[in-house]
Amino acid sequence: MQVFKLYMKIIRRNIPIMLVYVITFLVVALIMSSSMVKEQKKVASFERTKSKVAFIAEENSPLIDGFREELGKIANFIELPDETEALQDALYFRKVSYILRIPKGFTEGFMKGENVQMEKTVVPDSFSNAYIDLCIDKYFNTARLYINQMKGITQESLVQSLRLDLSESASVEVKTYGDEPADYRYGNYFFNYLSYSLFAVIIQGMGVLMLVFNNQDLKRRNTCSPVSINSINLQFLLANLVFTISSWLIMVIFTICCSSVSFLIGNLVRGYEAISAISNVVTIGPCFISGAFVPQELLGESVLRIASFTPTYWYVKANNQIAQLTRFGLLAFFAVSLVVVKKRRFE
Amino acid sequence: MIINARNLVKRYGDLVALDHLSFSVKEGEIFGLLGPNGSGKTTAINCILSLLKYDNGEVEIFGETMTPDAYHIKRNIGIVMQNVAVYNELTVYENIDYFCGLYVRDKNLKKRLVDEAVEFVGLNEFTRFYPKKLSGGLLRRLNIACGFAHRPKLIIMDEPTVAIDPQSRNRILEGILELNREGATIIYTSHYMEEVEKICSRIMILDKGKAIATGTKDELKAMITLGEKITVESYGVTEEQLKRMRSLPNIVSVDYRDQVLEVKSGKGKNNLETVLDFIKKEGIQFGKIYCELPTLNDVFLELTGKELRD
The pLDDT value recorded for residue B152 is 94
Nearest CA in chain A to B67: A224
The pLDDT value recorded for residue B153 is 94
Model confidence at A307, pLDDT cuts 50, 70, 90, reads confident
Give the pLDDT confidence of B216-262 residue by residue, as tens digits: 988 988 888 788 889 999 988 899 999 999 988 888 889 999 899 99
CATH 3.30.70.3400 fits B225-293, yes or no: no
Res. B125: pLDDT tops 70: yes
Question: Which residue pairs, CB below 8 angstroms and at least 24 apart, start in A232-236?
Answer: A232/A3, A235/A1, A235/A2, A235/A3, A235/A4, A235/A7, A236/A3, A236/A4, A236/A7
Query: How far are the Cα atoms of A208, A245, B152 from residue A6, in angstroms, in the given order?
Result: 13, 18, 22
Mean pLDDT of B29-46: 91
Buried b (16+ CB within 10 A) or exposed e, A131-140: bbeebbeebb
Res. A30: pLDDT tops 90: no
CA nearest B144: which of B124, B110, B164, B120? Answer: B120
Instruction: Check: CB of residue A190 under 8 Å from CB of residue A29.
Output: yes
User: Which residues make Cβ contacts (< 8 Å) with residue B271, sequence separation at least 6?
Assistant: B227, B228, B230, B250, B251, B265
Residues of chain B contacting A205 with CB distance shorter than 8 Å: none
Buried b (16+ CB within 10 A) or exposed e, B18-28: bbebebebeee
For the domain spanning B3-216, the CATH number is: 3.40.50.300
Inter-chain touch A221–B101, beta carbons under 8 Å: no
- DSSP label of B35: -
What is the CA A77 to chain-centroid distance, rounded?
Answer: 33
Contact with chain B for residue A224, Cβ under 8 A: yes
Residues of B with CB under 8 A from a CB of A: 49, 51, 68-69, 71-72, 74-75, 77, 79, 81, 83-90, 94, 98-99, 101-103, 146
The pLDDT value recorded for residue B126 is 95
The pLDDT value recorded for residue B63 is 92
The pLDDT value recorded for residue B113 is 95
Model confidence at B300, pLDDT cuts 50, 70, 90, reads confident
Q: Sign of the CA dihedral A185, A188, A191, A195?
A: negative
pLDDT-above-90 percentage for chain A: 9
Instruction: Check: CB of residue B290 under 8 Å from CB of residue B224.
Output: no
- DSSP label of B39: S
**Residue B64 pairs with which residues in a beta bridge?**
B61
Residues of chain A contacting B146 with CB distance shorter than 8 Å: 221
The pLDDT value recorded for residue B189 is 92
User: Which residues make Cβ contacts (< 8 Å) with residue B85, sequence separation at least 6?
Assistant: A215, A217, A218, A220, A221, B143, B146
The interaxial angle of helices B136-148 and B166-181, nearest 10 deg, is 10
Inter-chain touch B74–A224, beta carbons under 8 Å: yes
**Residue A192 pairs with which residues in a beta bridge?**
none
Query: How far are the Cα atoms of A337, B202, B206, B247, B301 from residue B37, in angstroms, in the given order?
Result: 68, 20, 10, 38, 15
The pLDDT value recorded for residue B10 is 94
Mean pLDDT of B161-184: 88
**Rounded CA gap, A21 and A225, in Å?**
36
| Nearest-neighbour CA in chain B from A260: distance (Å) | 24
Residues of chain A contacting B102 with CB distance shorter than 8 Å: 2, 222, 225-227
Higher pLDDT, A315 or A252: A315
**Residue B205 pairs with which residues in a beta bridge?**
B34, B213
Instruction: Check: CB of residue B176 under 8 Å from CB of residue B166.
Output: no
**Rounded CA gap, B125 and A279, in Å?**
38
Interface probe, candidates A225, A230, A233, A272, chain B, greatest B C-beta count within 10 A: A225
Domain A51-166 in this protein, CATH class: alpha beta
Instruction: Check: CB of residue B66 under 8 Å from CB of residue B2.
Output: no
Res. A186: pLDDT tops 70: no
Residues of chain B contacting A239 with CB distance shorter than 8 Å: none
* ipTM of model over 0.85: no
Taking residue A13's Cβ as centre, other Cβ atoms within 10 Å add up to 18
CA nearest A239: which of A203, A214, A210? Answer: A210
**Residue B60 pairs with which residues in a beta bridge?**
B4, B65
Inter-chain touch A10–B89, beta carbons under 8 Å: yes
For residue B32, give the H/E element and its range: strand B30-34
Mean pLDDT of B68-91: 92
Nearest CA in chain B to A211: B87
The pLDDT value recorded for residue B216 is 92
Higher pLDDT, A210 or B140: B140
Residues of chain B contacting A271 with CB distance shorter than 8 Å: none
Lowest mean pLDDT segment, chosen from B29-33, B91-95, B163-167: B163-167
The pLDDT value recorded for residue B310 is 47
CA nearest A10: which of B65, B256, B130? Answer: B130
The torsion of the CA quartet B201, B205, B206, B212, rounded to 10 degrees, works out to -130
Contact with chain B for residue A225, Cβ under 8 A: yes
**Rounded CA gap, B297 and B307, in Å?**
6
Higher pLDDT, B227 or B140: B140
The DSSP string of B182-228 is TT-EEEEEES-HHHHHHH-SEEEEEETTEEEEEE-HHHHHHTSSEEE
Domain edges within chain A: 2-40+181-346, 51-166
**Rounded CA gap, B62 and B302, in Å?**
35
Residues of chain A contacting B85 with CB distance shorter than 8 Å: 215, 217-218, 220-221
Taking residue B171's Cβ as centre, other Cβ atoms within 10 Å add up to 18
Where are the CATH 3.40.50.300 domain residues in chain B?
Answer: 3-216
Nearest to A220 among B81, B89, B90 (CB): B81
Inter-chain touch B85–A223, beta carbons under 8 Å: no
Instruction: Check: CB of residue A147 under 8 Å from CB of residue A153.
Output: yes
**Rounded CA gap, A83 and B3, in Å?**
108
Output the CA angle A112-A118-A123, nearest 5 degrees.
Answer: 165
B268 exposed, middle or buried (CB, 10 Å; 0-12, 13-18, 19+)?
A: exposed
| Nearest-neighbour CA in chain B from A23: distance (Å) | 23
CA nearest B159: which of B173, B177, B175? Answer: B173
Output the CA angle B115-A1-B95, nearest 5 degrees.
Answer: 35
In chain A, alpha helices (H): 2-13, 15-44, 62-71, 84-92, 106-111, 127-149, 155-166, 186-213, 216-223, 229-251, 253-268, 272-290, 301-307, 311-325, 328-346
Contact with chain B for residue A217, Cβ under 8 A: yes
Res. B151: pLDDT tops 90: yes
Inter-chain touch B87–A6, beta carbons under 8 Å: yes
**Rounded CA gap, A259 and A322, in Å?**
23
Sheet holding B15-25, edge to edge: B15-25, B3-12, B56-61, B64-65
Instruction: Check: CB of residue A110 under 8 Å from CB of residue A143.
Output: yes
Interface probe, candidates B43, B74, B114, B157, chain A, greatest A C-beta count within 10 A: B74
